[in-house]
Chain A
């Protein structure tokens, strides 16, 4: 049986259910690299070009882990997934970077996905789907059916996210039956939005488990993936200039939406050191949060593994929020 490797990094947290179901439906075996760990980080840092951001380096590590274990590695070249928008340059160049940085790779399925001028129903996209599937089986009707099934799984995944399930959990359960989820109504003292690129906020190794740390303190965690699509479009359109990065739009739109609708008590931005897109997004969100009197803090991730730095900042942030909460009346005089 044909084995397809999917590295657990970059767009994994957005599309895993779609990709995995698609290849499995075609009859391939899907192999996913394990959660990021020290070994993967080290091999990624060694093989990747020096100037890259941490998640790209880790992605290299995941590919390196998979390379001897599978027949193909799936790294689509996702250029654009929405009209007039682009993905981050590192995502555009991901398959090429990997190919030239890591030796002895199995063939890479680097399907071009460019929907800058087309939609999901266009023949161009259908062709891309066929391109991805043909390595497993050269049968267009089977590929079409597999994609349809995969799309259903993907919709179930998106539904879970909209119900407030964190992607790490949702990836485990999208295929199981679920009745009532009500994640949003669980008891909590305060809610914090953890915002940033999915590969920063859901990689538990890189961010030293920040989401579980917050949940264990009785805090409800919100992430951009839980915010309704239409809300994101509506609030990101408030920017004076169009945001042409898909992820930038999602991050800014979701944060603006939660701030404006008063659904969060604080915002923690997780950014990887050296991210160009983040440098703009952080400022946009920080200004908005300040305007509305919502506490904001930035955590920069790089290769550090000592947790003291992150813990101190998170603890101080929560202390500050509680302190402000207690003296609610004083805040209005502030800004």
Chain B
């Protein structure tokens, strides 16, 4: 039987799972919408995985994404790694001489600068969501266009409308004004793609030395309009890897494989965890003025973890008998 490694990327918008083998071939991938229910969706993903591939040997697992610690609790990861490193690892595997990675996800966007196979600089968006996927999602909704058709529509335009991309709120009002002036929809959509790219390059990519080969990944890479906008603004060809939407998960699966080979055992709990009944409870602790928001995760009535407190009052207790509040 072949050996496989599981990579899990729990992001704000999507939860991705992949299985890779020793040669980095991807056996199967799952791209699911997180919908604010990371645990349920993760379980669903594992269940689908199990149904699809049947009984295989999974030797190790890794988790990444903003929900990586949560995912670790559920699956028992061998390695928990941040998104930047995971993305860099997987991109380097697909294009070894990649120099720039553009990653645009739902809530955050990143730029990773690589030279000679090493991450030398990176940046993530700050407190603003204007250069991210949710910006496009929102505007597509506003225009009444399914996000899946967005890119194709943008490609039809020859005459983009300039839309302010600095702030999602201003962009929306600017877009409405342009609509009311009678511009056609293709041009507005193409203008939005350009606005996102402009904002990304001015905000996240500010002062970064962007050199080719450039790789573009993350959920937004499905949008051909954005790819076209990047290519026209950078003057460089932009590559989109085959598994652009699960690159983070692939990277962490690769890291998990290395880790397991090094330590010779795995913490992975097996795909059976899809059947475990997880419950999450949250309370606001009233022990002090911090009023921390405590989260408790139970699996089959056993407390797996508590976190969210600043003082350790809750996270240190693992005793089942101590109930929350």
Tell me the interface secondary structure of chain A in the complex: helix
Of A37, A308, A334, the residue contacting B66 (CB under 8 A) is A308
Please tell me if the beta carbons of A37 and B289 are within 8 angstroms of each other in the complex: yes
Does B224 lie at the interface of the complex (its beta carbon under 8 Å from any beta carbon of A)? no
**Given the known A-B contacts A312-B82, A319-B82, are A300 and B127 also in contact in the complex, defined by CB atoms under 8 Å?**
yes
Of B117, B121, B127, the residue contacting A302 (CB under 8 A) is B127
Binary flags per residue of A305-319, CB closer than 8 Å to B gives 1, else 0: 000110111011101
Please tell me if the beta carbons of B116 and A327 are within 8 angstroms of each other in the complex: yes
Binary flags per residue of A35-60, CB closer than 8 Å to B gives 1, else 0: 00111100000000000000000000
Please tell me if the beta carbons of A330 and B118 are within 8 angstroms of each other in the complex: yes
**Which A residues are in CB contact (< 8 Å) with B290?**
37-39, 205
Does A297 lie at the interface of the complex (its beta carbon under 8 Å from any beta carbon of B)? yes
Closest to B292 in A: A38
Of B84, B108, B207, B288, the residue contacting A320 (CB under 8 A) is B84
Closest to A327 in B: B118
Number of interface residues of B (CB under 8 A): 26
Closest to B119 in A: A320
Number of interface residues of A (CB under 8 A): 32
Report, nearest first, the 4 A-B pairs whose CB atoms are least far apart.
A316-B84, A39-B289, A330-B116, A315-B82
Please tell me if the beta carbons of B126 and A316 are within 8 angstroms of each other in the complex: no
Give the contacts of B118-140 with A (CB-CB under 8 A). 118-124, 126-127
Does A291 lie at the interface of the complex (its beta carbon under 8 Å from any beta carbon of B)? no
**Given the known A-B contacts A304-B127, A312-B124, are A39 and B116 also in contact in the complex, defined by CB atoms under 8 Å?**
no
**Given the known A-B contacts A312-B82, A319-B119, A333-B116, are A38 and B289 also in contact in the complex, defined by CB atoms under 8 Å?**
yes
Binary flags per residue of B129-163, CB closer than 8 Å to A gives 1, else 0: 00000000000000000000000000000000000
Please tell me if the beta carbons of B118 and A324 are within 8 angstroms of each other in the complex: yes
**Given the known A-B contacts A315-B82, A320-B84, are A334 and B119 also in contact in the complex, defined by CB atoms under 8 Å?**
no
Please tell me if the beta carbons of B120 and A334 are within 8 angstroms of each other in the complex: yes
**Which A residues are in CB contact (< 8 Å) with B108?**
309
Of B119, B120, B126, B292, the residue contacting A298 (CB under 8 A) is B126
**Given the known A-B contacts A38-B291, A39-B289, are A331 and B120 also in contact in the complex, defined by CB atoms under 8 Å?**
yes
For the complex formed, measure the closest distance between the CB of B12 and the CB atoms of chain A, giving whole angstroms: 9
For the complex formed, measure the closest distance between the CB of A335 and the CB atoms of chain B, giving whole angstroms: 9
Does B85 lie at the interface of the complex (its beta carbon under 8 Å from any beta carbon of A)? yes
**Which B residues are in CB contact (< 8 Å) with A39?**
289-291
For the complex formed, measure the closest distance between the CB of B312 and the CB atoms of chain A, giving whole angstroms: 12
Of A37, A316, A327, the residue contacting B85 (CB under 8 A) is A316
Does A273 lie at the interface of the complex (its beta carbon under 8 Å from any beta carbon of B)? yes
**Given the known A-B contacts A37-B288, A38-B289, A39-B289, are A312 and B66 also in contact in the complex, defined by CB atoms under 8 Å?**
yes
**Given the known A-B contacts A38-B289, A316-B83, are A323 and B127 also in contact in the complex, defined by CB atoms under 8 Å?**
no
Binary flags per residue of B261-303, CB closer than 8 Å to A gives 1, else 0: 0000000000000000000000000001111100000000000
Binding site for B on A (CB under 8 A): 34, 37-40, 205, 273, 286, 290, 295, 297-298, 300, 302, 304, 308-309, 311-313, 315-317, 319-320, 323-324, 327, 330-331, 333-334
For the complex formed, measure the closest distance between the CB of B256 and the CB atoms of chain A, giving whole angstroms: 15
**Given the known A-B contacts A286-B207, A320-B84, are A313 and B124 also in contact in the complex, defined by CB atoms under 8 Å?**
yes
Does B50 lie at the interface of the complex (its beta carbon under 8 Å from any beta carbon of A)? no
Bound Cα distance from A286 to B66, whole angstroms: 26
* Known contacts A298-B126, A302-B127, A323-B118, then 6 further A-B pairs from the complex at CB < 8 Å, ordered by chain A residue: A312-B82, A320-B85, A323-B119, A330-B118, A334-B115, A334-B120
For the complex formed, measure the closest distance between the CB of A55 and the CB atoms of chain B, giving whole angstroms: 16
Of B66, B115, B122, the residue contacting A316 (CB under 8 A) is B122
For the complex formed, measure the closest distance between the CB of B283 and the CB atoms of chain A, giving whole angstroms: 14
Please tell me if the beta carbons of A330 and B82 are within 8 angstroms of each other in the complex: no
| 24 sample A-B contacts, Cβ–Cβ < 8 Å, listed by A number | A34-B289, A39-B289, A39-B290, A295-B121, A297-B123, A300-B127, A302-B127, A308-B67, A309-B108, A312-B66, A312-B82, A319-B84, A320-B85, A323-B85, A323-B118, A323-B119, A324-B118, A324-B119, A327-B116, A327-B117, A327-B118, A331-B118, A333-B115, A334-B115
Of A40, A308, A323, the residue contacting B289 (CB under 8 A) is A40
